[in-house]
């Protein structure tokens, strides 16, 4: 999953170069850590067979981020990038993860 995380982070910073100007390398490292947390929550939801674990995490995280001035679109974009990166991962859980990510985005888009 490390390769997927690197792909996601690189894509975010390519599309939003102002993030590097605003947050520097520390922000980029934080983005990696955030994506590691996303994957941990995906894994927990998968292992428990409970997508609600991930969707509840997504709603909670979105509330935290928006209270700090971020936009829901940033988290939605991040989840879309993870889903796209998962397509090239050879893992039995990839389709389930993609489904959880899409469900979380559906909820976030309709809040």
The mean pLDDT of the chain is 95
The CA-CA-CA angle for residues 4, 107, 92, to 5°, reads 35
Roughly how many angstroms between the first and final C-alpha of the chain, as a whole number?
Answer: 29
Identify the CATH homologous superfamily for domain 2-109: Phycocyanins (1.10.490.20)
Confidence of residue 2 (pLDDT cuts 50, 70, 90): confident
Summarised one tens digit per residue, pLDDT across range 44-86 is 999 999 999 999 999 999 999 999 888 999 999 999 999 999 9
How many residues would you count in the chain?
A: 111
Contact call for residues 78 and 36 (beta carbons, < 8 A)? no
Extents of the domains making up the chain: 2-109
């Amino acid at each position: 999953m490390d390769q997927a995380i690197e792909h996601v982070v690189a894509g975010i910073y390519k599309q939003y170069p102002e993030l590097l100007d605003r947050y520097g390398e520390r922000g980029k490292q934080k983005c990696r850590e955030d994506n590691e947390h996303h994957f941990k929550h995906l894994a927990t939801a998968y292992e428990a067979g409970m997508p609600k674990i991930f969707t509840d995490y997504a709603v909670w995280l979105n509330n935290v981020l928006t209270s700090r001035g971020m936009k829901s679109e940033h988290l939605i974009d991040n989840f879309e990038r993870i889903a796209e990166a998962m397509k090239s991962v050879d893992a039995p859980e990839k389709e389930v993860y993609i489904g959880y990510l899409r469900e979380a985005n559906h909820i976030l888009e309709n809040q």
